[in-house]
A and B are shown apart, each in its own frame.
Chain A
């Protein structure tokens, strides 16, 4: 039976793999000041052709263009091509007005038959840019993003190094007033962008140019065929991989800040992230010959990169594995199960503290806005389990007193039920997150989704989306581009 116990414990500790990967990334991110710097670091101003795909963007496009016109960048070295994907709102009229206001800077393009998706719209713009032949680099952005004054200049300076094929910026959540979801996303972007992309700078390999700010050198665009991928839902990730496989580096510029408007509710977030997660699964398949092949150019085949990539992609599998192992151990060897449970959650506590404190340290300004969401990121239930792991005796004593005060007498059956609940929580949390999404779509229950996200956690919500993405991909579900609704909520302070 010892062999069975060890096997089940191994299943349990598979749940720690994403934690270790997270810890690794944050550890490496701290070394960013020692990263390989550009061989040439200069104040360069390449001719940049900005390509903006736009479909019914009347609420946001004017401010985006005004902000681009005010960039600390020579106007004669900037051209903005806005591709109107057959919008049926005021977008075409507004674009004509902006072209009149900024002659020689804004060039509106129109697709009369749109609806094919963002990547086709971008390619329409790229065809025009390449036909004009004027550009040194192309900047692909979203219609709602707000570039801060020095952001493009900071990104462009990396192109002084001929080895750099593309650069991206730090996209921050800019909706004001920020609701609970905006604040969760703001915190998530510290971890997923400011920290993870710093780590990828240090490792010399990048998973993805942020879709809202991709500055691509002309030679790199030509090397990947002059267009972006239309076969997956993650065209920005495919571009990033192809640029690196073609032998050029991709860099993240953490001091180039770009504000974006993100979803304000669970349902909007779910749709956006489902698209991203399905895209990542498609990318994993598309580049199946790259993984774990150390000699592939660009570092994409390295073990360290695979650890980062697959720890996110396979997170639902790892969590399911941990829960399964714990429940099986509960019926097999309760003492061993308790040790395995506390071991796994002890790792969780340390990683949680490291990642949360590091995130606050990496972007203190954003942390001031979203520190509560940073603390509640794993969910209040998970925080209680962590508390139990650290102080089991106090937790049990206080919990028993609380139950007695509520008129409930602690019994062995209740203890077993609570233990099984805690053991299964990593998986149950994903199911609970999926239920929250359903509630968010319900007219009368939507108000509950906010408090429940704090209870269940934002992390489990993302895991549930990834699990759903697997189901959709296995079923071969239609690839629909469900655009995130933008209303122009980016605040002035942003």
Chain B
């Protein structure tokens, strides 16, 4: 596999590192949002059950 060549206008290593960090942050937030959705749904189920 080839190494990264230097291309005019191409993202720098710094840009790429920032991009990867943004992607990781998005995936972490996705997990947190999924957990929040599950909690909300469980809460709704409990309320529905309590109200009969």
Contacts and interface: CB of A to CB of B under 8 A. Distances in A.
Interface in B1-52: 1-5, 7, 10-11, 13, 16, 19-20, 23-24, 26-28, 30-31, 33-35, 37-38, 40-41, 44-45, 48
A136 B1 contact: yes
Nearest to B25: A33
A45 B3 CA distance: 6
Contacts of A74: 5, 7, 10
A31 B31 contact: yes
A357 B37 contact: yes
A32 B27 contact: yes
Q: By DSSP majority rule, is chain B's interface helix, strand, loop, or mixed?
A: helix
A45 B1 CA distance: 8
Interface in A9-63: 26-27, 29-34, 41-47
Nearest to B10: A72
Interface residues of A, number: 35
A402 B44 CA distance: 28
A34 B26 CA distance: 12
Most buried by A among B34, B38, B45: B34
B11 A361 contact: no
A77 B19 CA distance: 22
B11 to A, nearest CB: 6
B3 A390 contact: no
Contacts of B38: 27, 354
Contacts of B27: 32-33
B19 A150 contact: yes
B35 A46 contact: no
Contacts of B13: 43
A47 B11 contact: no
Contact of A46 (B1, B11, B24): B1
Contacts of A46: 1-2
A167 to B, nearest CB: 13
B17 to A, nearest CB: 9
Contact of B30 (A30, A43, A75): A30
B30 A361 contact: yes
Contacts of A44: 1-4
A159 B2 CA distance: 10
Given A43-B16, A44-B1, A354 B31 contact: no
A354 B41 contact: yes
Nearest to A363: B30
A25 B20 CA distance: 24
A153 B5 CA distance: 12
B4 A45 contact: yes
Nearest to A47: B2
A212 B34 CA distance: 29
Given A44-B1, A46-B1, A47-B2, A33 B37 contact: no
A158 to B, nearest CB: 11
A26 B35 CA distance: 11
Q: Which 3 pairs, one residue from A and one from B, show the smallest C-beta to C-beta distance?
A: A30-B34, A33-B27, A361-B33
15 contacts: A27-B38, A30-B31, A30-B33, A30-B34, A31-B31, A42-B4, A43-B13, A43-B16, A44-B1, A44-B4, A136-B1, A150-B11, A350-B41, A361-B33, A361-B34
